[in-house]
Every structure is written in C-alpha cells, then in structure tokens.
Copies of this chain bind each other. A is one copy, B any other.
Amino acid sequence: MFDFSANADATDALRASFRRHASGVAVITTNDDQGNPVGFTATSMTSLGATPPLVMFSVARGASSWTAISNAEYIAIHTLGEANLELAQRMAADHTKRFTTEDWSRGPHGMPVFEAATSVLICKVRQVINIENNAVVVSDVIAGAEGQQDEALLYYQRSYRQTGAALS
C-alpha cells in the first residue's frame, strides 16, 4: 500500500514523483526585441493534437528567455537526439554563451535554427497562460523539417539518457 504520510509536504511529494518520470528533450528558440537569438532547453514539450497541429511547453517566468518568449510572434522548437547532448547542455547553461558557436542559422520568419537537431518546427504563438511562476505557451505549427536521424535524447534523474530497448 502507498504510504501517504511519508512525504507530508506536497512539494517534496512532487519532487519524489518526478524523479521517477522521464522526459524527452527539446530546444526552443526565438528572437528578442533587438532581433538577438534567445532560447533554452525544455523538458515539457508536448503535442496538443495534430488537427490543427498544436504544441505546448512551459517556461519559468524568471528564465532568461522569458521576456522574449512572452512577446514572441514566432518560435522554433527542436527535437534532440543523442548526438545533441552538448546542445542540450549548452542551452541549459550560461545564457550569454548559447549562440556564440556557429551551429545555428536563420530559418523561416528569422527563427534561430540549430541544424544538428533531429527536427525543427516553426510555430506561431497562439496563447500564453500565466500560472504562478510559470507560463504555458501554446503554438500553432506552421512549418517543419527533419534533420539527422538519431535516437531521442531523454532527461531523467538529473542526467541526460539514451532511449532504451522496446518493451512491446
């Protein structure tokens, strides 16, 4: 039987539960009001249906990218593979060093695009829903492209992981 008294604090309970949950890894980019690229590594990206094609993700309203994301008309969402480990780490570290390399270019609507990603979706922001210290961003997919073939990159128990073998 579950023991609901062990984690009396709900914040502790959430943290304990999410240590047992794995996530896919995405990188989300846009431009700030000066036209400079901004972006971050996200583990909350999910689809909200294919007809119409919608995606959503959450972002902390204290994040370095938040002001740009909250004002963005367009964004780019990249799915990452195992070969993108360094990109995932970089886009989660010092925000002043995320675009200092030459591995990105300008895609549709001027979106910053990392060519090494396994795919990219160009999206138009539909709705930004503020919830406490975070926001949920809902966007319409308007274009997309596939990059190199690779196994999906995971985040689990504070480390990046490979996708494992099929169970079914």
Contact = CB atoms under 8 A, between A and B. Distances in A.
Interface stretch (A31-39, A65-73, A134-142): A134-142
Interface centre among A13, A58, A127 (most CB of B within 10 A): A13
A76 B44 CA distance: 19
A2 B107 contact: yes
Interface of A: 1-4, 6-7, 10-18, 20-24, 26, 43-56, 58, 60, 77, 79, 81-82, 85, 89, 105, 107-108, 113, 115, 118-122, 127, 129, 131-134, 136, 138, 140-147, 150-154, 156, 159-168
Q: 5 closest Cβ contacts across the A-B interface?
A: A13-B144, A162-B164, A2-B145, A164-B164, A14-B53
20 contacts: A7-B144, A10-B53, A10-B143, A21-B24, A21-B152, A22-B154, A43-B46, A44-B46, A49-B134, A54-B132, A56-B58, A89-B168, A127-B131, A136-B138, A151-B164, A159-B166, A160-B168, A161-B167, A162-B165, A164-B165
